Amino acid sequence: MNNHNPTEVYAARDEIDATLVQSMLAEAAIEARVVGGQIMGAVGEVPAGLPSAPRVWVAGGNAAEATRLIRKMEEKRRETWQQDMQAENEKDSGEAIAGLLTASADLRTWECQGCHERVTVDFELCWNCLRPRISDSSAGSVTTDF
């Protein structure tokens, strides 16, 4: 790296994050250095967080392009994160809907022709008078109670 006007372009969460950014910049033919990554082993003795975070530095002439690429990478990370969260929420919603459908299936009933009691579809006999369910659609029709 040209040491004239080195410029910090990225403060990483950790050394892995800094190395990923360094590699991404290398793919774009921008030489970068990670500075301060070794300090993460001293957490506890040195305050953790942004002041002790590893940093990525480039030659001053590459700073604008490096910053543009890093912003593009961060935007892609955000989009991916949002898609992952949306997929997770949809999965959770789908599971909740499936649970509601299962619960509503338990509420489907038929009416006993003998005593007019409502009986869930799981039973072929009326629990009240033990009369069998009539399968004819004109008698003992199935309804859904919500």
Per-residue pLDDT, 138: 45
Q: What is the pLDDT of residues 32-87, one digit of tens each?
A: 999 986 655 555 555 555 567 899 999 989 999 999 999 999 999 889 888 888 88
Let me know whether 83 and 112 are in one domain: no
Which range is most confident: 29-33, 45-49, 103-107? 29-33
Structure-token match 């392009």, residue found: 65
Domain assignment of residue 30, given as a range = 6-102
CB atoms within 10 A of CB 6: 17
Residue 77 burial (CB < 10 Å; 0-12/13-18/19+)?
exposed
Let me know whether 10 and 58 are in one domain: yes
Number of domains within the chain: 2
Segment 10-21 mean pLDDT? 91
Let me know whether 93 and 112 are in one domain: no
